[in-house]
């Protein structure tokens, strides 16, 4: 695995040699036009990954996430799921932002979210070589999609609802890794262990001292000591299940 540079949205990828994320539009199967962040590796792509945002919407950090995946050799696409409610909807990292984003996700249907995911998968290279990923509530929807759609792999960052009755019995169809902090206030450690017991084939990584949303350097919850190994494990997981997979 090559070296990975971890940067935040304030200085992301200013070096010309590093991949950058750009905004584009895709058309979903139902005709909806969805804004995406897209980042591509400088060389041949090892595969694709579709990333679902947290309750805050398609923040600039999601562009950084796409660029990090592209630096690791993957075509990364992140849809603005809230476009179906109002274009360019991004909420602040506040309690009010969490509530607004929760309301936004609650206003969307499974059919709408899955249509946007399917468009992104096609753009990233097709289901045989594309993984699904997500953060927070986006992680919940990634888990849900992984149980009903076909992907090459599933990389989940602290899915907020995986432990709940509507999600815990869903079975991901592809190899899955999920990351949680042991101080997560949304999914407590006892619930994480319940997920592990119910899904022994899911790789669960737990990070001491990390809370919810520990990967995002733009949030106060950022935990660098956990973010870097979580990225390294995720990229290694992708390299095993997608990058080295024969077509």
Domains and their CATH numbers in the chain: 21-243 (3.40.50.1820)
Mean pLDDT, the chain, rounded, equals 93
Span 148-157, mean pLDDT? 98
CA–CA separation, 125 and 117 (whole Å): 12
Span 3-11, mean pLDDT? 34
Higher pLDDT, 60 or 245: 60
Q: Percent of the chain, pLDDT > 70?
A: 92
pLDDT at 7 over 70: no
Q: Which of 184, 176, 171 is nearest to 204 (CA)?
A: 176
114, 117, 122, 124 alpha-carbon torsion, rounded to 10°: -160
User: Quick one: pLDDT at residue 18?
Assistant: 76
Under a CB-based contact definition with an 8 Å cutoff, are residues 160 and 181 in contact?
no
Under a CB-based contact definition with an 8 Å cutoff, are residues 17 and 41 in contact?
no
Higher pLDDT, 15 or 87: 87
Span 192-217, mean pLDDT? 98
Pairing of the two strands 176-181 and 154-157: parallel
């Amino acid at each position: 695995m090559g070296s990975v540079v971890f940067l935040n949205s304030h200085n992301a990828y200013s070096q010309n040699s590093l991949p950058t994320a750009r905004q584009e539009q895709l058309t979903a199967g139902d005709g909806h036009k969805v804004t995406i962040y897209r980042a591509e590796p400088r060389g041949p792509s090892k595969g694709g990954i579709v990333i679902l945002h947290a309750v805050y919407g398609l923040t600039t950090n999601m562009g950084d996430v796409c660029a990090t995946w592209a630096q690791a050799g993957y075509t990364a696409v992140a849809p603005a799921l809230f476009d179906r409610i109002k274009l360019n909807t991004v909420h602040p990292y506040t309690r009010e932002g969490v509530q607004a984003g929760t309301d936004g996700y609650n206003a969307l249907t499974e059919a709408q979210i899955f249509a946007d995911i399917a468009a992104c998968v096609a753009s990233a290279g097709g289901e045989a070589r594309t993984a699904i990923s997500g953060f927070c509530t986006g992680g919940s929807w990634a888990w849900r999609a992984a149980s009903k759609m076909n992907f090459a792999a599933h990389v989940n960052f602290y899915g907020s609802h995986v432990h709940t009755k509507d999600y815990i019995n869903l079975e991901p169809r592809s190899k899955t890794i999920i990351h949680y902090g042991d101080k997560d206030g949304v999914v407590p450690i006892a619930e994480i262990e319940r997920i592990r017991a119910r899904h022994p084939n899911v790789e669960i990584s737990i990070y001491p001292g990390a809370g919810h949303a520990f990967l995002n350097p733009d949030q106060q919850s950022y935990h660098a000591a956990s973010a870097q190994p979580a990225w390294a494990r995720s990229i290694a997981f992708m390299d095993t299940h997608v990058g080295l997979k024969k077509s």
